Amino acid sequence: MTDLHLLDAVVSAHGALRQKKPLVQCLTNAVSSNFMANILLAAGAAPAMVDNPEEAAAFVAVADAVLVNLGTPTAAQVEAMRLAVEAAQRIGRPWVLDPIGAGGLAWRGGVAAGLLSFKPAVIRGNASEIIGLAGLGGGNRGFDSSSDPADSVPAARELLVHTSAVSASGPIDHVVGVDGQGSTQLIKVAGGSALLPRVTATGCSLGALVAAYTAVAATPLLALVAAHVHFAVAAELAEERAKGPGSFAVAFVDALDQVDAEVIRERARITRSALSA
């Protein structure tokens, strides 16, 4: 049964997103950039793809939140990422780590591990990436959801020494984090669509939407939950109209714009439980 108190908080965060239209600085991969920008605009935020070493740190002061996505990192982009997150930590801007491939490729895994020292507000990935980043598994494919999100919960808890909340996407998204009272929570967000992983950059774009919510939500944990709910509800709406992956991509952008408080209350499926120490 949906947690109604948490549902109210998600609706409030969604309203704040639409009202404040946060600017998200996206240091992301070449595959996702265009789709990600459109997803942010449709959801109610604003994108800025500023990812070069000469400008990345300075732009953090302009942005409301920062996304670091390790999809196709180059040496120059990694330098820009480090400069950006250092600036974010210094001036108090929330930033999100999306550790794509961290469980399967050693170099980018090392990059991700190094970025953890700059304390991301949240970490968002699939289960393989979360397990790989925490160092709990070997040989994970990293780029896809080859592990069940439920299997990532111990790894997510381990990563809380670096961040306030961690999510693993899947048929049921699993979110682990510390709430406003200091309690460690496991929140499950059901819904979405099987067509999401058949469209390039949907997961990457979820990371950008998470960043947008970190700029307006009361806590990083709520930001993660609100972004996952927004995404899942929009995906369900889009699937009802789509004939396949191509039409789904278009319908999904439309649906992100059409999600409102009434739709969230009607369709969101959120459960919460406390995790023992």
Q: Encode pLDDT of 2-27 as tens digits.
A: 888 999 999 999 999 999 999 999 99
**Digit-coded pLDDT (tens) for 173-229:** 999 998 888 889 999 999 999 999 999 999 999 999 999 999 999 999 999 999 999
Residue 140 has pLDDT above 70, yes or no: no
Read off the pLDDT of each residue in 72-93 and give the average, rounded to a whole number. 97
Global pTM reads 0.94
Predicted local distance difference test score (pLDDT) of residue 1: 72
Six-digit token pair at 257?
């714009």
Average pLDDT, the chain: 93
Predicted local distance difference test score (pLDDT) of residue 101: 86
Rounded to whole angstroms, the Cα distance separating 234 from 231 reads 5
Predicted local distance difference test score (pLDDT) of residue 105: 80
Residue 155 marked ligand-binding: no
Residue 144 has pLDDT above 80, yes or no: no
Six-digit token pair at 131?
């397990």
Read off the pLDDT of each residue in 67-89 and give the average, rounded to a whole number. 96
Please tell me the total count of domains within the chain.
Answer: 1
Predicted local distance difference test score (pLDDT) of residue 3: 84
Read off the pLDDT of each residue in 142-160 and give the average, rounded to a whole number. 80
> Taking the alpha carbons of 132, 137, 143, 146 in that order, is the dihedral positive or negative?
negative
The dihedrals phi and psi of 268, each to the nearest 5 degrees, come to -65, 140
Predicted local distance difference test score (pLDDT) of residue 136: 46
Query: What one-character DSSP code corresponds to residue 243?
Result: S
CATH number for the domain harbouring residue 71? 3.40.1190.20
Taking the chain, what is the end-to-end CA distance rounded to the nearest angstrom? 24
Radius of gyration of the chain (CA): 17
**Digit-coded pLDDT (tens) for 217-258:** 999 999 999 999 999 999 999 999 999 999 999 999 999 999
What residue numbers bound the domain in which 19 lies?
A: 4-274
Residue 169 marked ligand-binding: yes
Residue 201 marked ligand-binding: yes
